[in-house]
Amino acid sequence: MLRVIDADELNAFACGGHLVVTTTFSLQQLDRRELAGVFAHELSHHLGLHTISLTLIHWFSLPIIALARIGFAVKNVARAATESFVAHSSALTALGRAISGVLTGVSWVFLSVLYASDAVSNLVGHRSEFDADQRSVRLGYGRELAAALSTVLTHGGGQRSIGWRQRLRASHPPARTRVARIEAALRHPSGL
């Protein structure tokens, strides 16, 4: 199933339920050949079951997010209670601060796990992008996909992330890298 959203960016993505979403801008900026390459790539995500793994990762991260938020909220309540009710007692103030510190530490552990899982998810996401690109080549849409990625680059998208933090947060590999790999696969189809 195909859905079109009104947006001023070149984008398309696969999501659960065998759905491919693209933007009105993509429909206006990409020619039919390029759109065919993009749709082959997005359908390749479905064929590779990438949307299922991304959905599971998202759902498994929700309890971690909830626990971190609860920890920070309880920490704030502990700090406020300490400041309001036990300010006259140095022992109770110390206890309240200790509890607040423990809750802050636990919350940061949950957030650290979440950030680490996001980084691993993005690394897996890079692999799924390359896999979907290679499947598109095998389906006969490699040149079209490379042309679409070149159009994305022309419009200022798909650039290489600067710095290790941005690279960890990037959900997609740079478009130039993807084009180079697609072109290599087209030159040497026996490597597929």
- The count of C-alpha atoms lying within 13 angstroms of the C-alpha of 27, restricted to the half-sphere facing its C-beta, is 10
Whole-number pLDDT of residue 80: 77
Contact 51, 45 (CB under 8 A): yes
User: 158 pLDDT band (50/70/90 cuts)?
Assistant: low
User: In terms of DSSP bridges, do strands 12-15 and 2-5 run parallel, antiparallel, or are they unpaired?
Assistant: unpaired
User: In terms of DSSP bridges, do strands 19-23 and 2-5 run parallel, antiparallel, or are they unpaired?
Assistant: parallel
**Which one is predicted more confidently, 100 or 42?**
42
Q: What does the block give as tokens for 149?
A: 């990625």
The stretch 68-81 carries a mean pLDDT of 75
Please check the confidence at residue 163 and state whether its pLDDT lies above 90.
Answer: no
Q: Against a cut of 0.85, is the pTM above it?
A: no
Integer Cα distance of 10 and 16 in angstroms: 20
User: Exposed (0-12), middle (13-18) or buried (19+): which is 44, by Cβ within 10 Å?
Assistant: buried
Integer Cα distance of 83 and 38 in angstroms: 58
Taking the alpha carbons at both ends of the chain, their separation in whole angstroms is: 28
Residue 81 CA: distances (Å) to CA of 2, 77, 95, 99:
53, 6, 11, 11
Whole-number pLDDT of residue 182: 94
Please check the confidence at residue 86 and state whether its pLDDT lies above 70.
Answer: no
Q: Which of 59-68, 100-109, 134-143, 173-182 has the highest mean pLDDT?
A: 134-143
The domain ranges of the chain are: 50-191
Q: How many helices (H) and strands (E) are present in the chain, helices listed first? A: 7, 3
The 8-class DSSP code of residue 163 comes to: S
Whole-number pLDDT of residue 191: 63
User: 39 pLDDT band (50/70/90 cuts)?
Assistant: very high
